[in-house]
Chains A and B, each alone.
Chain A
Amino acid sequence: MISLKGFIRRFLSDPVAIAAGFVLLLLILMAVLAPLIAPQNPYDLMQLDIMDSEMPPVWREGGDPRFLLGTDAQGRGVLSTIMYGTGISLMIGIGAVIVQGVLGTTLGLIAGYKGGWIDAFLMRLADIQMSLSTLMIAIIVLAIFQAGFDANTYADYAIIMLIFIIGIAEWPKFARTVRSSVLGEKNKEYVDAARVIGLPARKIMVTHILPNTLTPVLVISTIQVAEAIMTEAALSFLGLGMPTDRPSLGSLIRSGFEFIFSGSWWITLYPAIVLVVLILALNLLGDWLRDVLNPKLRRGDD
Chain B
Amino acid sequence: MHIIAFLIRRAVQAVIVMFVISLIGFSIQDNLGDPLRELVGQSVSEEVRNEMRQEMGLNDPFLVQYSRFIGKAVQGDLGTSYFFKRPALDVIMDKFPATFELVLGAVFIFLSLSIPAGIYCAIHRDSWLTRIIMSFSILGISIPVFLTAIGMVWLFGVELGWLPAFGRGQTVELPWGWDTGFLTWEGIRHLILPSIALSSIMLPLFIRLIRAEMMEAMGTDYVRFARAKGLPERRVRYVHAFRNTLLPVVTVGGLMVGTLIAYTILTETVFQWPGMGFMFLEAVNRVDTPLIIAYIIVVGLIFVVVNTLVDFLYTLINPMVKLPGAKA
* B265 beta carbon closer than 8 Å to chain A: yes
Contact with A along B225-238 (1 / 0, CB 8 A): 00000000000000
* A131 beta carbon closer than 8 Å to chain B: yes
Contact with A along B132-147 (1 / 0, CB 8 A): 0000000101111111
Among the stretches A34-42, A70-78, A102-110, A132-140, the one at the interface with B is A132-140
Query: A240–B284 contact, CB under 8 A?
Result: yes
Query: A272–B147 contact, CB under 8 A?
Result: yes
* A205 beta carbon closer than 8 Å to chain B: no
Task: Please report the C-alpha to C-alpha distance between residue A276 and residue B144 in the assembled complex, in whole angstroms.
Answer: 8
Query: A139–B265 contact, CB under 8 A?
Result: yes
What residues of B have a CB within 8 angstroms of the CB of A276 in the complex?
142-144, 147
Query: B257–A147 contact, CB under 8 A?
Result: no
Interface size on A, residues (CB 8 A): 37
* B307 beta carbon closer than 8 Å to chain A: yes
Query: A234–B32 contact, CB under 8 A?
Result: no
Among the stretches A23-31, A179-187, A253-261, the one at the interface with B is A253-261
Cβ 8 A contact of A133, one of B259, B266, B280: B259
Cβ 8 A contact of A237, one of B259, B266, B287: B266
Task: Please report the C-alpha to C-alpha distance between residue A239 and residue B139 in the assembled complex, in whole angstroms.
Answer: 26
What residues of A have a CB within 8 angstroms of the CB of B265 in the complex?
139, 238
Query: B147–A253 contact, CB under 8 A?
Result: yes
Task: Please report the C-alpha to C-alpha distance between residue A237 and residue B289 in the assembled complex, in whole angstroms.
Answer: 22
Of chain A, the residue at the smallest CB distance from B288 is: A147
* B281 beta carbon closer than 8 Å to chain A: yes
Number of A-B contacts (CB under 8 A): 98
Question: Known contacts A147-B284, A275-B147; is A130 also within 8 Å of B255 by CB?
Answer: yes
Return B225 CB to nearest CB of chain A, in Å. 28
Interface residues of B in 134-186 (CB under 8 A from A): 139, 141-147, 150, 153-154, 158
Task: Please report the C-alpha to C-alpha distance between residue A139 and residue B280 in the assembled complex, in whole angstroms.
Answer: 10
Return B37 CB to nearest CB of chain A, in Å. 14
Task: Please report the C-alpha to C-alpha distance between residue A240 and residue B287 in the assembled complex, in whole angstroms.
Answer: 13
Query: A136–B258 contact, CB under 8 A?
Result: yes
What residues of A have a CB within 8 angstroms of the CB of B261 in the complex?
133, 136
Return B167 CB to nearest CB of chain A, in Å. 13
Of chain A, the residue at the smallest CB distance from B255 is: A131
Task: Please report the C-alpha to C-alpha distance between residue A301 and residue B255 in the assembled complex, in whole angstroms.
Answer: 9
* A143 beta carbon closer than 8 Å to chain B: yes
Query: B146–A234 contact, CB under 8 A?
Result: yes
Task: Please report the C-alpha to C-alpha distance between residue A276 and residue B141 in the assembled complex, in whole angstroms.
Answer: 10
What residues of B have a CB within 8 angstroms of the CB of A139 in the complex?
262, 265
What residues of B have a CB within 8 angstroms of the CB of A226 in the complex?
142
Question: Known contacts A234-B144, A276-B147; is A146 also within 8 Å of B257 by CB?
Answer: no
Of chain A, the residue at the smallest CB distance from B299 is: A136
Question: Known contacts A144-B292, A238-B281; is A257 also within 8 Å of B147 by CB?
Answer: no
Task: Please report the C-alpha to C-alpha distance between residue A58 and residue B266 in the assembled complex, in whole angstroms.
Answer: 32
Query: B144–A230 contact, CB under 8 A?
Result: yes
Using CB atoms and an 8 Å cutoff, list the residues of chain A in contact with chain B.
Answer: 124, 128, 130-133, 135-136, 139-140, 143-144, 146-148, 226, 230, 233-234, 237-240, 253, 257, 260-261, 263, 265, 268, 272, 275-276, 279-280, 283, 301
Of chain A, the residue at the smallest CB distance from B138 is: A283
Return A287 CB to nearest CB of chain B, in Å. 9
Query: B255–A148 contact, CB under 8 A?
Result: no
Cβ 8 A contact of A143, one of B13, B263, B280: B280
Interface size on B, residues (CB 8 A): 44
Using CB atoms and an 8 Å cutoff, list the residues of chain B in contact with chain A.
Answer: 13, 17, 24, 28, 31-33, 139, 141-147, 150, 153-154, 158, 252, 254-259, 261-263, 265-266, 269-270, 280-281, 284-285, 287, 289, 292, 296, 299, 303, 307
Question: Known contacts A268-B150, A272-B150; is A132 also within 8 Å of B266 by CB?
Answer: no
Task: Please report the C-alpha to C-alpha distance between residue A184 and residue B31 in the assembled complex, in whole angstroms.
Answer: 47
Cβ 8 A contact of A280, one of B142, B154, B255: B142
Which of A130, A147, A148, A237 counts the most B-chain CB atoms under 10 A from its CB? A147
Query: A136–B13 contact, CB under 8 A?
Result: no
Task: Please report the C-alpha to C-alpha distance between residue A239 and residue B282 in the assembled complex, in whole angstroms.
Answer: 11
Question: Known contacts A240-B284, A260-B153, A280-B142; is A131 also within 8 Å of B32 by CB?
Answer: no
Question: Known contacts A131-B255, A136-B258, A238-B269; is A143 also within 8 Å of B144 by CB?
Answer: no
Cβ 8 A contact of B258, one of A133, A147, A263, A283: A133
Query: A147–B266 contact, CB under 8 A?
Result: no
What residues of B have a CB within 8 angstroms of the CB of A233 in the complex?
144, 146
Return A173 CB to nearest CB of chain B, in Å. 13
Task: Please report the C-alpha to C-alpha distance between residue A280 and residue B254 in the assembled complex, in whole angstroms.
Answer: 27
Lowest 10 A-B CB distances belong to which pairs? A133-B258, A135-B262, A136-B262, A133-B259, A143-B284, A280-B142, A132-B258, A147-B287, A136-B258, A147-B32
Task: Please report the C-alpha to C-alpha distance between residue A140 and residue B27 in the assembled complex, in whole angstroms.
Answer: 14
What residues of A have a CB within 8 angstroms of the CB of B303 in the complex?
131-132
Other A-B contacts than A128-B13, A143-B292, A276-B142, 12 sampled, CB-CB below 8 A, are A128-B17, A143-B284, A144-B292, A147-B32, A147-B292, A148-B31, A234-B144, A234-B146, A234-B266, A240-B284, A279-B142, A283-B142
Return A27 CB to nearest CB of chain B, in Å. 14
29 A/B residue pairs, CB under 8 Å, sorted by A: A124-B13, A128-B17, A130-B255, A131-B255, A131-B257, A133-B259, A133-B261, A135-B259, A139-B262, A147-B292, A230-B144, A233-B144, A237-B146, A237-B266, A238-B269, A239-B281, A240-B281, A240-B284, A257-B150, A257-B270, A261-B158, A268-B150, A272-B147, A275-B147, A276-B142, A280-B139, A280-B142, A283-B141, A283-B142
